[in-house]
Structure formats: structure tokens, C-alpha cells
Structure 1
Amino acid sequence: MIRLHKWKLLAVALITNITIVISLAVGEIKAWEHIDWLDIVGEGGVSLLAALWLGFTLNSRPNGPVTNLLTLGLGLIFVGTFQDLLDEVIAIDKGLFLSGGLESTLLPAGLTVLTFGLYHWHKEQLLFTEQRRKREQVFREYRLQDGLTGLGDARFLRRQLALALKHASNHQQPLALVLLDIDHFDATNRRFGHAEGDRLLQELTEIILLNLRRTDLLCRYAGDRFAVVLPNTGELMAGEIAAQLSRAIEHFAYKTAQQGETLYQSISTGTCTAEEYSAEAMIERATTRLLQAKDSKARLQVVAA
């Protein structure tokens, strides 16, 4: 996962090195007896912890606005505390901005940005919890649950889609259906086994849920195919949501349980909006568009090869 954020890490490393070079250019290294080692241990420890937090964060999250906020906040904190550490070994003129001014500016800014990032991270977790709660509540009522992912199955999809169509017609609201199919999933099963494939499906389920709205419904339609019912959603918005889900899955680095190998997935999508269709007709139309998308992608891969 961390390799997705290499440019963020390079930016932090570059700024840190620039800080070192400028500090050495405008200051002088202190004599051994003038160095306060207790301050070095304390300030160095804070800087090291900020670097570790940054590494842990980037290694556990995909790309996105929340990750960017957390990275910026922790990066500012790290650079500020690192400059404070440099002040303990390099004597800098008190009139210069580097002498106390840099960390005094970067630390509050970093803490402010980090607070915004943690706030949105908290909202993200609340959304995920709400999705799980809603899913469990619905499944207790209908008992139409896929045993592997915990999602509603194809029968549940048809029932809910029919209800959503009726509601959309009564309230004159748009409704969309998106089918998602994991590309080359059979190859993953053959290479790593069905147990690994099942584990991958469970992980991808969580990724998709995190990128849906509270009103959306995710079901496992069949095998490696998922369906998303999007209430009050037109064709353009449905296409945008499908693209967002595709990007989220492409950025997800899956680690196999046995070899620890990193796998990256891609999906094909087919969308359909409610017009005069029944639930079954919407599913058939979305399936047709999904198969067309997969066929087009396969032809492009052949041409590229």
C-alpha cells in the first residue's frame, strides 16, 4: 500500500533535506559541550514518532482526500519537530526565521490540518459502521444473505430493486443500478486457490462499502459480480460513482495470506437507469452493458499486446 504514496514520502524527504542544507548554510554546528542531550532525546523522539505515524498511516490507507489531509498534517509536524531538533546541534542566528520561527509555524499548522484529517477519518468510520448496521438490520428481516461477504444475494437484490423502482416512480425520482465485475478473478482463483479468492472478495466488499453513500445498497449478485442500487441517482451521477469505485479498487493493494504477494485488481462496470423497466429488465440491461465493457477492455488489451 505504501508504494502508492511514494511521491508524498519523497516530498517530505526533500523538504527535510532542504531544511538541513539551509540550517548548515546559515548556522554553525555547536561545540560538544554546548549540546543539551536531554533536549535532543526528547525532541528527536517526537520527530521519530511523527515519522512513524506518517509511515503507518500511508501503509494502511488508499489514496484520497482524507489520506492527503493526514499526510500533510503529519508531514508538517515532522518537519517542524525535526527543525527543532536541528536547533539543538546547529547554532542559528536568533534573528533568522529558522531559529524557532519555523517550528512555531509548522507545528500549529500541522496539528490543525491533522485535526481536520482525523475528523474526516472519524466520519468515514461512522459511515462504514452505519453501512454494516443497515446491512445487518436488513438481513435479519429478509434472511437473504450471501454467506461469504454478508451482503444480500441475487434474490434480495431483485426484491429491493423492485421496491426501489416503486418508490422512485411514486416520488418521480431517478434510480440507477450498477453491476461490478472483477477482471480476471478466475486467474486469481487458479493461481492462489479458492480460499484466497474468497478472502479477496471479502476485502473488496469492505472497499466498495466505504465508497458508497448511506442510501446506496450493495449486493453480491453472483460469483465475483456485485450490484449497487443507487436511489435518487441519474445516469451521469451513476457513471461518476462507478468510476470512483473503479479507482478505489485499482488503488487497493491486496496481500495474499500465504506468499504475501501484492495483487492489484480492476473492475468492469455496467450501469442502467430506471425508465419503464422492471427490476429484471434493469438487471438484464446493466448486464448487457457490463459485458460490452468487458469485451471492449479485452479488445484494447489485445491491441496493446
Structure 2
Amino acid sequence: MPSLFAFHRIKLLVLFLVANLGLILHLSLGAVKPLSIWDPLDVAGEGGSAILVLVWICLLLKSRPAGRVTTLLFAGLACLFFSLWMDVIDEFIQLPDSVRWDGWLESGPMPVGFVLLTLGIYHWHSEQLAINLQMRNRERLYREHREFDTLTPLGGATYLRNQIGSSIQQAEADRQPLSLVMLDMDTFNTINRDYGQAEGDRVLQVVTQLVLLNLREHDLLCRLAGDRFVIVLPNTLESQAKVMAMEVSLAIAHLAYRTTGQGERLVLSATTVAVMARQESAEGLLERLNLRMAQAKQMPLARSA
């Protein structure tokens, strides 16, 4: 699968052509300045700024899909780069006094670039608010990304234990029930063995998105380890948690997943179990949940408890 950077090659090509046209135009009409009148400070400042903006452009195109926000941010940065590039060229090439357009090339794109950047950042802000709304089922209270799984990305085991501890305290203070659901993919090792780890990783990513779609706004999904996930369900009785566990299990069983290589249909399934918190620690609750999962895995016909 091509990287995001490959989708933006045309943008970089256009920027490269425009920058070189500016250089060719200066060379055709001007003359190279003597080395004695070069200003190293200006060359370093303007040249370094141009390089940094170019790095920003590459990072932007490497990390974002195509779209209005990406186009606005790229156009704004491209204008800044072109303006700085013209400043750098002016340090090496002397144009005749009759030439007046060089000032426009050096200064004109700069304010246009800032306007486009501002528009891009405004729309990026709106986009980020929408993403944050969707992330509510993935993270709570704070973002300590060292505790987040890079594949899914969900909170990892440490993050999960912290959130369970906080949820237990909140449930006791509010005198409301708290339940947990554990999900463990069936025959996941077989998928890794037969189709490769990359396919197994993609299965985990797809399952993550599917489970998130079946959660409520205040629920939290975390990846405990490997193909095992835990859902934290505030204000939820064990009977309700079991119903949600069954719904998640059925959603995975009905998922029409196809491999990236040959497009083969893989039948996915997951074992799910649910428990309600008692007067216990986060570790005790997780231990009881793991025990329930181990018991369910020993029952071939049981795929949800």
C-alpha cells in the first residue's frame, strides 16, 4: 500500500518546478554576485528558514491524507517557502536596477501564505474537534501517549489499570454500578501464522473500529495485550454488560473481513465475558475478569458469557 507521501508527489513536483523557474528567471536576467559581497548571516538565516519550511511541508504531506485542510496548509507553506527561496537567490544573484518584479516575488507570496495557513489551521481545528469527539471511547482525562498502543491506537494496560481505579472510585462515590467486558479474538494466532503479522495487525485495527462503533459515549475501550481488549462500562449492571458483550461478539462474527492480499474472506469470532465490580482494587477486578475469560475459553461452545 503506497504511503501518504506518495499521494502528494504532484504537489511537491509543482513546488519544485515553480522554485526552479524562479531560479532560472534570476539567472537569465542577472549575474552572480562576487563572493566578497555575500552576506553569510543573511544566507544562513534565509536559507535555514527555507529548509525548515520545506521540512514542515514534507512532514505535513507524510502524515496527512489529501483534502481541503492539507491543500490549504500545503499552499500556505509553499508560499512561505517560495518567498524565502527568492530571498536566498537574491543573496547570490544581482538583477539590473530596471528589474522591479523581484521585490514582488520576495514579499508578495508571504502574506498570501499566512492567510492560507490561517484558513488551513482554522479548518484543521474544526477537524480536530470532530476527531476528539470520536476519541472519547479511546482515552479519558489526559493524554499520556507513552501509555497508548501505537497500533490501534488505544490505551494500553497501564492506562487501563489507571482508568479502572478511577472508575471504581467514581462508582463508589456515585453509588452506581461499574462493569467490565473482556474481548479475546479466537484463532488469532492462526491468522498471524497463515497470513502474516501485517494481516493480523490489520485485523486488530478493523476490530478496534468496529467495537468503538458499538460503544456508548461514556464507555472506554483499551487494549490489554495482544488480541485481548477490555471495555470499561460506567453505570452498567452485569446483566447489561453481558448484553453488550453479546452484541459486540455478534458484530465481529458478522464482519465481512477480506485479506489485503488475495481478498479472501476471513471468518472472525471473539470470546467475550463480563463482570461487575465489587469492593476490590483494579488489579483484583482485572484478575477476576481474566479468570472468567480463562473459564470461557475452556468451553468450546461458549463464545460469550
TM-score (norm 1): 0.54
In structure 2, what is the equivalent of residue 198 of structure 1?
201
In structure 2, what is the equivalent of residue 207 of structure 1?
210
**Aligned in 2, Cα 1:127/1:289: closer, same or farther, shift over 3 Å?**
farther
Say if 1:218 and 1:227, in contact at 8 Å, map to a contact too: yes
**Larger CA Rg, structure 1 vs 2:** 2
Q: 2:235 aligns with which of 214, 232, 237?
A: 232
Shift of 1:202: 0.3
Say if 1:149 and 1:205, in contact at 8 Å, map to a contact too: yes
**Aligned in 2, Cα 1:233/1:128: closer, same or farther, shift over 3 Å?**
farther
Q: Does 1:242 align with 2:245?
A: yes
* 1:123-179, Cα deviation, whole Å (9 max, x unpaired): xxx999733256367563464100100100000000000000000001100000111
Give the match's secondary structure for 2:278.
coil
What letter is aligned with 2:246? A
Q: What is the CA RMSD across the aligned residues, in angstroms? A: 2.3
In structure 2, what is the equivalent of residue 173 of structure 1?
176
Q: 1:296 aligns with which of 267, 285, 299?
A: 299
Task: State how many pairs are aligned.
Answer: 175
Say if 1:216 and 1:229, in contact at 8 Å, map to a contact too: yes
In structure 2, what is the equivalent of residue 259 of structure 1?
262
* 1:79-128, Cα deviation, whole Å (9 max, x unpaired): xxxxxxxxxxxxxxxxxxxxxxxxxxxxxxxxxxxxxxxxxxxxxxx999
In structure 2, what is the equivalent of residue 161 of structure 1?
164
* 1:34-67, Cα deviation, whole Å (9 max, x unpaired): xxxxxxxxxxxxxxxxxxxxxxxxxxxxxxxxxx
Deviates more, 1:169-178 or 1:269-278: 269-278
What is the distance in 1 between the residues matched to 2:142 and 2:188? Answer: 27
TM-score (norm 2): 0.54
In structure 1, what is the equivalent of residue 115 of structure 2?
none
Q: 1:281 aligns with which of 284, 287, 297?
A: 284
Shift of 1:297: 1.9
Shift of 1:271: 1.6
What letter is aligned with 2:218? T
In structure 2, what is the equivalent of residue 48 of structure 1?
none
- What are the residue-to-residue correspondences of 1:61-210 with 2, within 5 Å? 130-132=133-135, 135=138, 140-141=143-144, 143-210=146-213
Give the match's secondary structure for 1:297.
coil
What letter is aligned with 1:226? F
The percentage of counterpart residues that share the same residue type is 48
In structure 2, what is the equivalent of residue 223 of structure 1?
226
Say if 1:235 and 1:272, in contact at 8 Å, map to a contact too: yes
Say if 2:138 and 2:222, in contact at 8 Å, map to a contact too: no
**Aligned in 2, Cα 1:186/1:252: closer, same or farther, shift over 3 Å?**
same
